[in-house]
């Protein structure tokens, strides 16, 4: 395949128009070291461990959020991921009943000849996204937001309880939810509020009891000298924690430390325990303690801070010593 050739596919069941030629041009001119200085201007909305979310500032792409994933080495890998992505969305929406923003995808081939996969979603109001809404809502409304997110997560876990060989994994962090119709000019929340689930970029689900997402994809962005220890110590845990209600909730509550709202943690722990005791006793979730959440966050903070430092060193070596491409986009200093 010609290294300069781009192939584009786009699927949008909601009929949202996308200018794919502009997305091709954006990918060609993207500077992974400084994405805001790319040929077509963009604004980074968020960083993940294996993806970055952009708002692209050009007519035809505004009003959309683009999650860029450059993990794939072959078209076959990218097509397999695409099939899992679409099936994951179908299960979340059609079988479980979660609400997703209007979405689609674009599959490109970059100048280096590798596939690049873009998840495309309608961009939602930033203030409506859970970790931003924390700054607009009163403390009791934040607890309510958590309870509504927990209500949505229960849909997933009750589905998994009824379909043990077809379970669906989910990352419940507060930044993965958005409040439908939220207006920061009149910030309020009641029990009838609906949430969108945003993070469909890790399509983890079982088919016949077998995980369908290739765990090696999680290792592609890691420095080569860390791959063996990550594979040995962490991959299995990463691939199973998102099926475990207790671990998902501990991770969700611990995220409030990162969002600088530690005073909310005891109330969130109490709300979670009450939910599991009264609404989901069949799941058999043991009581969660504040100490567990705090200990988890401290350990998680050390692991991910150290991992980011290793990735930054790997980027330096590849670019400045080996004079090779480094396709991944890394965040700057993260406030924790």
User: Rounded distance, CA 284 to CA 281, Å?
Assistant: 6
Q: Establish if 13 belongs to a structural domain.
A: no
Q: What pLDDT band is residue 7 in, cutting at 50, 70 and 90?
A: very low
- 84-126 per-position pLDDT tens digit: 999 999 999 999 999 999 888 888 887 777 889 999 998 899 9
Residues 97 and 174 grouped into a single domain: no
Residues 162 and 42 grouped into a single domain: no
Residue ending a domain, choose from 122, 156, 177: 122
Residues 210 and 239 grouped into a single domain: yes
Question: If you write DSSP's letter for every residue of 225-257 in order, what string do you get?
Answer: GGHHHHHHHTHHHHHHHTT-HHHHHHHHHHHHH
Mention every residue, 6+ apart, whose C-beta is less than 8 A from residue 216.
Answer: none
Q: Establish if 94 belongs to a structural domain.
A: yes
199: three-class secondary structure by DSSP? coil
Residue 227: per-residue pLDDT: 82
Residues 108 and 163 grouped into a single domain: no
Residue 247 has pLDDT above 80, yes or no: yes
User: Rounded distance, CA 56 to CA 120, Å?
Assistant: 11
Residue 3 has pLDDT above 60, yes or no: no
User: What's the angle, vertex CA 244, arms to CA 238 and CA 246, rounded to 5?
Assistant: 115
Q: Establish if 328 belongs to a structural domain.
A: no
Residues 100 and 147 grouped into a single domain: no
Q: What pLDDT band is residue 4 in, cutting at 50, 70 and 90?
A: very low
Sign for the CA dihedral angle at 296, 298, 303, 309 comes to positive
Question: Which segments of 131-265 are extended strands (E)?
Answer: 177-179, 195-197, 206-207, 210-211
Domain with residue 48: its CATH number is: 3.30.200
Q: Establish if 3 belongs to a structural domain.
A: no
Q: Establish if 327 belongs to a structural domain.
A: no
Residues 92 and 216 grouped into a single domain: no
Residue ending a domain, choose from 71, 99, 122: 122
Q: Establish if 55 belongs to a structural domain.
A: yes
Residue ending a domain, choose from 122, 155, 185: 122
Tell me if 9 sits within 8 A of 116, measured CB to CB. no
Mention every residue, 6+ apart, whose C-beta is less than 8 A from residue 209.
Answer: 164, 165
Residue 10 has pLDDT above 70, yes or no: no
Residues 183 and 294 grouped into a single domain: yes
Residues 52 and 140 grouped into a single domain: no
Residues 204 and 60 grouped into a single domain: no
Secondary structure element (H or E) that encloses residue 66, with its range: strand 64-69
Q: Mean pLDDT of all residues in the chain?
A: 87
- 165-187 per-position pLDDT tens digit: 999 999 999 999 999 999 888 88
Residues 177 and 139 grouped into a single domain: yes
pTM of the prediction?
A: 0.89
Residues 97 and 172 grouped into a single domain: no
| Number of structural domains the chain divides into | 2
Q: Residue 142: give the domain boundaries.
A: 126-321
Residue found under tokens 């959440």: 293
Q: Does residue 85 or residue 235 have the better pLDDT?
A: 85
Residue found under tokens 């939220």: 182
Burial 167-193 (b: 16+ CB within 10 A, else e): bbbbbbbbbbbbbeebeeeeeebeeee
First to last CA, the chain: 44
Q: What pLDDT band is residue 322 in, cutting at 50, 70 and 90?
A: confident
Residue 17: per-residue pLDDT: 58
Q: Establish if 14 belongs to a structural domain.
A: no
Residues 148 and 291 grouped into a single domain: yes
Q: Establish if 83 belongs to a structural domain.
A: yes
206: three-class secondary structure by DSSP? strand
């Amino acid at each position: 395949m010609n290294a300069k050739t781009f192939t584009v596919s786009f699927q949008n069941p909601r009929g949202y128009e996308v200018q794919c030629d502009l997305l091709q041009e954006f990918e060609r001119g993207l500077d992974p070291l400084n994405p805001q200085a790319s040929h077509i201007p963009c604004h980074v909305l968020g960083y993940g461990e294996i993806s970055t979310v952009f708002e692209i500032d050009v007519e035809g792409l505004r009003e959309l959020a683009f999650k860029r994933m450059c993990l794939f080495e072959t078209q076959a890998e990218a097509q397999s991921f695409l099939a899992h992505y679409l099936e994951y969305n179908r299960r979340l929406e059609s079988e479980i009943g979660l609400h997703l923003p209007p979405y689609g995808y674009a599959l490109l081939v970059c100048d280096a000849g590798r596939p690049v996969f873009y998840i495309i979603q309608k961009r939602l109001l930033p203030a409506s996204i859970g970790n931003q809404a924390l700054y607009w809502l009163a403390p009791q409304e934040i607890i309510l937001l958590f309870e509504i997110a927990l209500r949505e997560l229960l849909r997933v876990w009750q589905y998994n309880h009824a379909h043990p060989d077809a379970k669906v994994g989910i990352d419940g962090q507060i930044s993965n939810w958005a409040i439908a119709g939220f207006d920061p000019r009149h910030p309020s929340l009641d029990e009838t509020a609906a949430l969108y689930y945003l993070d469909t970029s890790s399509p983890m689900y079982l088919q016949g009891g077998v995980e369908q997402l290739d765990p090696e994809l999680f290792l592609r962005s890691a420095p080569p000298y860390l791959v063996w220890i990550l594979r040995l110590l962490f991959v299995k845990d990463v691939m199973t924690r998102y099926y475990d209600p207790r671990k998902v909730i501990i991770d969700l509550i611990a995220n409030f430390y990162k969002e600088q709202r530690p005073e909310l943690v005891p109330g969130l722990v109490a709300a979670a325990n009450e939910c599991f005791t009264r609404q989901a006793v069949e799941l058999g979730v043991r009581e969660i303690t504040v100490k567990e959440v705090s200990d988890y966050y401290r350990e998680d903070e050390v692991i991910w801070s150290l991992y980011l430092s290793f990735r930054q060193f790997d980027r330096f070596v590849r670019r400045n010593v080996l004079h090779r491409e480094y396709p991944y986009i890394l965040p700057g200093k993260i406030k924790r």
